[in-house]
């Protein structure tokens, strides 16, 4: 499925935001991708709350309308005191804003294209001063408008911003509860483009002390990661191995025939998939497939699952994707594996966090997104963590590192919880992970 991106230039977006206030825009509909029809518009834009239209023409104009009301195809005229028309001209002129008249109809809520009286979109109809007499639309987009809110009086989670070295030492000195296991094994699971590989590269860079790019990351419309990878992390160049293995997988996609196959993921969780196995959604791994490990131990299984979600796209997660996550979560719960949810790209999602990363847990907007994800996934809010990964930077940053270290530290805490469930209290020996009775080979930590 191709990545749908905005056609607004940086200057055009700034002009539009200057008319809307302290908000964030989420692209809902793009005519060139979803179809230049009223049906396509309504299928993606109805019941979305406040929205803004951006229509483009060859003369360089961007024009449209904002409404705080839902599109519902009710067939009635809708009043909206917050509605307005606007036009942004090429050349950096001040944007034109035309407010509605009190008690007058803002738009006709019918089953045709959006109709704001003077502006009837998808029918090439608009007054000349709005578009420079060029009525042929080259593109048409609709964005949901989300208010960002302000900062909370105090953060909803305490972060140790000045304890980078203490956190790093604690992680490096970590020892799993089970003596036969040397490293915690954590898998990253999320949609294409959520930032799984970038998160690993960032953690690796932090411990190495310089920027690294061991995992292939990118912004392609399909998963860049095609292999199952189990990455070791070293503390400094040529240093010792950190007691954590971060496993990367192919990205999840809505359709069953593309992206990471859920049954392949279950085999990964059970430790049956070898490092560098080439994943193929059309040919899920089987017991006789080369690369399938039949004899898995507690060293091979996954000890903690980390869901990775792009904060900028929280509100755009489709029901199909949420259903896929629900299926994965149900199977993971059955295996008794603790789960964490990482919200990535918090600086891109919230200007207040971009301005000062220490605002992440004070941002009203980010707290709202965290609660939204917690409810959608059925994961406690305490299991939702906010991070920023290194993307454009060439140098390490303490605040970025602190958020990354906090996430890693919590992964190790949850890994301990996993091990505690695999240990017999009397003699602290490992038991069979997926059986209700101890395995005959429990002393070797074997898992069937």
Does one domain contain both 118 and 209?
Answer: no
- How many Å apart are CA 254 and CA 208, to the nearest integer? 36
Q: Where is average pLDDT lowest: 108-122, 185-199, 316-330, 428-442?
A: 428-442
Same domain, 137 and 33: yes
Q: How confident is the model at residue 435 (pLDDT cuts 50, 70, 90)?
A: very low
4 lies in some domain: no
The enclosing H or E element of 446 equals: strand 446-447
pLDDT at 224: 56
Predicted pLDDT at 301: 96
For residue 158, tell me if it sits in a domain.
Answer: no
Q: What is the pLDDT of residue 101?
A: 60
Q: How far apart are the first and last CA of the chain?
A: 36
Give the pLDDT confidence score for residue 434 in this predicted structure.
Answer: 52
Within 13 Å and on the Cβ side, how many CA atoms surround 370? 26
Residues 136 and 181 in one domain: no
Residue 159 is assigned to a structural domain of this protein:
no
In total, how many domains does the chain have? 2
Let me know if residue 5 belongs to a domain. no
Domain span holding position 33: 10-147
- The CATH number assigned to the domain holding 227 equals 3.40.50.300
pLDDT digits (tens, 9 = 90+) for 245-302: 999 998 998 887 778 899 999 999 999 999 888 888 778 788 778 778 888 899 999 9
* Residues 141, 168 within the same domain: no
- Residue 31, pLDDT > 50, answer yes
3 — pLDDT class (breaks 50, 70, 90):
low
Picking from 147, 180, 202, the residue at the C-terminal end of a domain is 147
Task: Give residue 426's pLDDT.
Answer: 34
What does the pLDDT average to over 225-249?
Answer: 90
Q: What is the pLDDT of residues 344-362, one digit of tens each?
A: 999 999 989 999 999 999 9
23 against 157, higher pLDDT: 157
Q: In this structure, are 96 and 37 located in the same domain?
A: yes
3-state SS of the chain? CCCCCCCCCHHHHHHHHHHHCCEEEEEEEEHHHHCCCHHHHHHHHECCCCEEEEEEECCCCEEEEEECCCECCCCEEEECCCCEEEEECCCCCCCEEEECCCCCEEEEECCCCCEECCEECCCCECCHHHHCCCCCEEEEEEEEEEECCCECCCCCCCCCCCCHHHHHHHHHCCCCCCCCCCCEEEEEECECCCCHHHHHHHHHHHHHCCCCCCCCCCCCCCCCCCEEEEEEEECCCCCCEEEEEEEECCCECCCCCCCCCHHHHHHHHCCCECCCEECCCCCCCCCCCCCECCCEECCCCCCEEEEEEEHHHHHHCCHHHHHHHHHHHHHHHHCCCCEEEEEECHHHHCHHHHHCHHHCCCEHHHHHHHHHHHHHHCCCHHHEEECCCCCCCCCCCHHHHHHHHHHHHHHHHHHHHHHHCCECCCCCCECCCCCCCCCCCHHHCEEC
Q: What pLDDT is stored for residue 365 in this prediction?
A: 93
Position 137 scores a pLDDT of: 86
Cβ atoms of 350 and 284 within 8 Å: the answer is no
Looking at the structure, do residues 46 and 176 belong to the same domain, yes or no? no
Do 199 and 288 reside in the same domain of the chain?
yes
């Amino acid at each position: 499925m191709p990545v749908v991106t905005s056609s607004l230039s940086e200057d055009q977006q700034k002009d539009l935001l200057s008319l809307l206030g302290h908000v964030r825009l989420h692209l809902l509909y793009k005519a060139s991708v979803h179809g230049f029809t009223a049906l396509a518009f309504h299928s993606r834009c109805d019941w979305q709350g406040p929205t803004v239209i951006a229509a483009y023409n060859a003369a360089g104009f961007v024009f449209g309308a904002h409404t705080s009301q839902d599109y519902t195809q009710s067939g009635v005229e809708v009043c909206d005191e917050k509605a307005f028309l606007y036009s942004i001209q090429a050349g950096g002129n001040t944007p034109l804003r035309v407010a509605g008249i009190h008690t007058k109809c803002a738009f006709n809520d019918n089953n045709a294209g959006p109709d704001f009286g003077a502006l009837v979109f998808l029918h090439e109809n608009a007054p000349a001063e709005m578009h420079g007499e060029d009525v042929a639309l080259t593109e048409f987009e609709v964005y949901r408008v989300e208010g960002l809110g302000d900062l909370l009086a105090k953060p909803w989670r305490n972060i140790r911003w000045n304890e980078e070295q203490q956190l790093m030492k604690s992680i490096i000195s970590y020892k799993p509860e089970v003596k036969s296991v040397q490293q915690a094994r954590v898998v990253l699971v999320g949609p294409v483009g959520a930032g799984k590989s970038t998160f690993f590269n960032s953690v690796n860079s932090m411990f190495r002390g310089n920027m690294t790019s061991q995992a292939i990351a990118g912004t392609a419309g399909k998963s860049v990661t095609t292999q199952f990878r189990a990455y070791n992390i070293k503390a400094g160049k040529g240093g010792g191995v950190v007691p954590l293995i971060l496993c990367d997988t192919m990205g999840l996609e809505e359709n069953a025939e593309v992206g990471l196959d859920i049954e392949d993921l279950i085999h990964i969780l059970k430790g049956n998939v070898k490092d560098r196995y080439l994943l193929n959604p059309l040919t899920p791994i089987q017991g006789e497939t080369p690369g399938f490990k039949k004899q898995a131990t507690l060293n091979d299984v996954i000890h903690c699952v980390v869901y990775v979600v792009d904060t900028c796209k929280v509100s755009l997660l489709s029901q199909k994707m949420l259903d896929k996550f629900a299926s994965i979560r149900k199977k993971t719960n059955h295996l008794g594996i603790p789960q964490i949810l990482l919200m990535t790209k918090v600086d891109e999602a919230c200007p207040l966090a971009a301005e000062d990363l220490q605002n992440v847990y004070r941002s009203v907007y980010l707290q709202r997104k965290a609660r939204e994800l917690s409810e959608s996934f059925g994961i406690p809010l305490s299991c939702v963590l906010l991070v920023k990964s290194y993307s454009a930077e060439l140098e390490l940053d303490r605040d970025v590192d602190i958020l990354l270290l906090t996430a890693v530290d919590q992964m190790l805490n949850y890994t301990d919880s996993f091990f505690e469930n695999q240990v017999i209290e009397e003699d602290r020996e490992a038991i069979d992970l997926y059986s209700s009775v101890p395995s005959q080979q429990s002393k070797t930590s074997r898992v069937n």
